[in-house]
Amino acid sequence: MTFLFARLRAGLLRPLVFASLLGLACGAAPVMPVAQAQAQTAAVSYAASRIVVRGDLGGDVGARANKIRAMAAAGQSVAIQGTCYSACTMYLGLPGSCVNSKSRLGFHRPSYFGLSLSPAKFEFWSQVIAAHYPPPLRRWYLREGRYSASLLMVTGAQLIDLGVPECS
């Protein structure tokens, strides 16, 4: 498992390959359906080196972690200007990311399409998610946010109070 996590952090696994390998290592892994991936892509508008997020419902954590790694390598940043749920919140750890004070972000426990994970998978995916948050948000998520089955809504203003940069 440590090997897989290191490869994910290094951005060396493609999302579906990672999901397949993780499935072999510890059971089923989340895989985002193509239609959901297309809808997610449509909710993001691309500008020079800043991506503006206005309505992202989340998706596969492994795929999002790899995407964020590639974005960081390309020097891209994210401005969260609207709703951002689940795996979308991982953009907060991308260098240069920012949030609008009126944005609404939703946090919840890691799951497999809403189903509970084994304790080992729950801990693994919680750590993957938390690794993408600034320290104060990471502490809150690991202490509280990762245990909620429903979305815990947090405003951009609350995140700014936790040290997330505000979009100018």
Identify the CATH number of the domain in which residue 83 sits.
3.90.226
- Residue bearing the bigger pLDDT, 54 or 6: 54
Count of CB atoms situated within 10 Å of the CB of 110: 21
Q: Let me know if residue 75 belongs to a domain.
A: yes
Q: Let me know if residue 114 belongs to a domain.
A: yes
Q: Which range marks the domain in which residue 64 is found?
A: 2-161
Domains in the chain, number:
1
Q: Answer for the pair 79, 50: CB distance below 8 angstroms, yes or no.
A: yes
Query: 34: which residues sit within 8 A by CB, 6+ positions away?
Result: none
Q: Answer for the pair 58, 65: CB distance below 8 angstroms, yes or no.
A: no
- Looking at residue 10, what is its pLDDT? 52
Q: Which tens digits make up the pLDDT trace of 2-45?
A: 433 444 445 443 333 333 333 333 333 333 333 343 344 434 44
- Looking at residue 50, what is its pLDDT? 87
- Looking at residue 49, what is its pLDDT? 86
- Looking at residue 41, what is its pLDDT? 41
- Looking at residue 113, what is its pLDDT? 83
Q: Which tens digits make up the pLDDT trace of 118-154?
A: 999 999 999 999 999 999 999 999 999 899 998 899 9
- Residue 80 to residues 17, 83, 103, Cα–Cα distance (Å): 28, 8, 7
Q: Letter for the amino acid at 22?
A: L
Angle CA(87)–CA(15)–CA(30) in degrees, nearest 5? 60
Q: Let me know if residue 167 belongs to a domain.
A: no
- Tell me the pLDDT band of 84, cut-offs 50, 70 and 90: very high
Q: Let me know if residue 40 belongs to a domain.
A: yes
Q: Let me know if residue 128 belongs to a domain.
A: yes
Q: Let me know if residue 168 belongs to a domain.
A: no
pLDDT over 80 (residue 68):
yes
Strand partners, 107: 152
58-76 residues labelled b (16+ CB within 10 A) or e (exposed): bbbbbbbbbbbbebbeeeb
Global pTM value: 0.69
User: What backbone torsions phi and psi does residue 101 show, to the nearest 5 degrees?
Assistant: -60, -25
Q: Letter for the amino acid at 37?
A: A
Q: Letter for the amino acid at 110?
A: P
Share of the chain above pLDDT 70, in %: 71
